[in-house]
Amino acid sequence: MTADLRHLRAFLAIADAGSVTSAAAVLRISQPALSRTLRQLEQHLGARLVDRSTHHLELTAEGRRFREKAATAVAVVDEALDPARLRPWPLRLGHAWSALGRHTTPLLRRWKERHPDTPLELLRVDDRTAGLLSGKVDIAAVRAPMIPADAEGLLGEWLRNEPRVAAVPADSELAEKSRSLTLEDLAAHPIALNTVSGLTTLDLWPEEIRPEENATIGVANTDDWLGAIAAGNAVGVSTSATAEMHPHPGVVYKPLAGAAEVPLMLMWRETPRGSGRPGHPAVPRLVELALDVLAGDARGTA
C-alpha cells in the first residue's frame, strides 16, 4: 500500500479535531473508514502516529513530527493546484506580533519598488512560528525564544536584538515613574501572558521574585493583551517592536531594566535536496533586503 494525499488529509483532520469521530464528521466519511485510513498510513510509515491508549486522543512523538511534514506537504499541493497561483507568486511573510517593528513599513515599501512582480504579503499567524511550520507562510519574523525546541529543518538569519519594555496601564503609578521599570516592579501586579504566540513566560523573573502562576491573565493575541493592560487588569512585558507597532492610549511603554534583549530573526524552512518540495525562490532576496533596511536604519538613512 502506498500512502497518498488522502492519507495525509485524514491524519491532519484527526490531529486538528482531537478525535476520530469529530474528524470523520468534518471529512464527511464514516468513522470506520477514517480509522482504516489512519491504520494504512501508520503501516506505510512503520510508526504509530496516534496514541489510542488514553481517554483523550493524543499524537505520539512520531505523530507530532509527522504532523509538521504532512501539513507542509498538503499546503504545497493545495498551492500548486490553486488557479490563482498561476499569476504572480506572492511571497508570504509571517509574524505572530509586531513584525519587524518600525522597520516593517520601509521593508514593504522598498520590496514593492525593487520587486514589483512578486507581491509581498504580510500575514499575522497566531502561533509561535508565525505559520512557518504549518506551511501558511514562506518566511517568518520570529523572536528566537519563541521557536519550539523540537522544531526541525529551519534556517534563519539574525536581524537585531530588541530591548524589552514594560507595558503598564496609562493611569497607574508605574506609568508615572520617571525611571526605567524593573521585573521586581512588575512582580507585584497580575501579569498578562500571551499563551498562544507570546514571548514572555514567568521564567523571565528570578525565582525569588517570580509571580505566582495564579497571578497571571492568559490571553490569545496582542489585541487582547493590550486590552487587559489598558483596562488596568494587568501589566505586561514585550519588546520595543510592540511599542513601535502598537501605540495605545490606555497603555504606557517603559524601558525595562535588567532583562535580556531578544533576538529578532527571519526564519524559513529548509528544503531537503531531492524532496520535491519547493521553497519560494524570493526568500534570499527578502533576507538580503531586510538586512539592508536595518543597516540603513543603523546609519540613520532608513
For the chain, domain boundaries: 5-80, 88-162+263-298, 164-260
Topology (CATH level 3) of domain 5-80: Arc Repressor Mutant, subunit A (1.10.10)
pTM above the 0.85 mark?
no
> Taking residues 261-288, what's their average pLDDT?
79
> Taking residues 119-139, what's their average pLDDT?
91
> Taking residues 34-55, what's their average pLDDT?
87
| Residue 300: per-residue pLDDT | 59
Contact indicator for 165, 242 with CB cutoff of 8 Å: yes
Domains 5-80 and 88-162+263-298 share a fold: no
CB atoms under 10 Å from CB of 296, counted, come to 14
Please determine, for residue 301, whether its predicted confidence score (pLDDT) is greater than 50.
Answer: no
Please determine, for residue 223, whether its predicted confidence score (pLDDT) is greater than 50.
Answer: yes
Out of 3.40.190.10, 3.20.20.70, 3.50.50.60, 1.10.3720.10, the CATH code matching 164-260 is 3.40.190.10
Could you give the percent of the chain with pLDDT greater than 90? Answer: 65
| Residue 151: per-residue pLDDT | 66
Please determine, for residue 80, whether its predicted confidence score (pLDDT) is greater than 80.
Answer: no
Backbone angles phi, psi at 21, to 5 degrees: -60, -50
Return the CATH class of domain 88-162+263-298.
alpha beta
